[in-house]
Amino acid sequence: MQDYFLSIKSLKVDYEQKGEPVTALDAVNFSLNQGQRGVIIGPSGCGKSTLISVLAGLNSHYSGQVLIGGKPPASGGETALILQDFGLLPWKTVWDNVILGLRLRKKNTGEIKTAAETVLEKLGLGSLGKRFPAQLSGGQRQRVAIARALVLEPKLLLMDEPFSSLDALTREELQDFLLEIWEETKLTILLITHNIEEAVLLGQKILIMSPCPGQIQQEVENSLAGASHLRGEVQFLEMCSFLRSFLRGRAHDAASA
């Protein structure tokens, strides 16, 4: 039996809304190999962000089995999370934002300096350490968020709509940049997106979720992942069309139920 790096079995998450129980996720099952890039797509409100919060160790109120490297998720462990709004502290400089996690882990000054300088240079941010987030472009802020995650040397990188607030060209630039990072680190990555083209470009395994309560309705092994030169080519567009049709069909079924 294969041992997966990320393994989710029969995951269920409930919460209360106005005193009434609501099921956000129900019977979620999927897995990722170590070093694999997975992308989750699905309609709004299907529980994608709830799933990410469980994996990040931010929500322990669930049933079922969730294992990362054979262990339950734990906040502050070997998992890093990048959010849609970058999650940067506006009153801290780029440098202080990047080293925040290292300080929380009580690394010594020398370790912090070496790790932060290395990752900032690698991400093209070496000259921006004294700037504040408000002085940066959207693309630069997202690079800082990525730097803050990578400096912790995580084994699983979680990304919740990380590029959605960026303009189209900056979004494509950072998609390619993420692929470059993956080629170098071979991180296991799980990314949420509403953008179908982004899912096809980045996801070696594309997971399609149903409307709430969220389940994995379809797993698509995607041989086009990482081939940014295929944007706009027939096979790329055909894959996008398949995913779009599948999502529309599920949305129609849910509305008719």
Domain ranges across the chain = 6-78+155-256, 88-153
Beta 216-221 vs 205-209: how paired, if at all?
A: antiparallel
Distance CA(205)–CA(37), nearest Å, equals 7
Multiple choice CATH, 6-78+155-256, 3.40.630.10, 3.90.650.10, 3.50.50.60, 3.40.50.300: 3.40.50.300
Q: Which residues contact 26 (CB under 8 A, 6 or more apart)?
A: 12, 213, 214, 215
- Torsion, Cα 194 207 67 112, to 10 degrees, reads -40
Position 75 confidence tier, pLDDT thresholds 50, 70, 90 = low
Identify residue 105 by its one-letter amino acid code: R
**What confidence tens digit (pLDDT) does each residue in 12-30 have?**
999 887 778 889 999 999 9
Residue 231 has a pLDDT of 84
Q: Is the pLDDT of residue 1 over 50?
A: no
- In this prediction, what percent of the chain has a pLDDT beyond 70? 95
pLDDT tens digits along 29-56:
999 999 999 999 988 888 888 999 999 8
In this prediction, residue 254 carries a pLDDT of 47
Each residue of 119-163: pLDDT tens digit? 898 888 888 999 999 999 888 888 899 899 888 888 999 999 888
DSSP H or E run through 157: strand 156-160
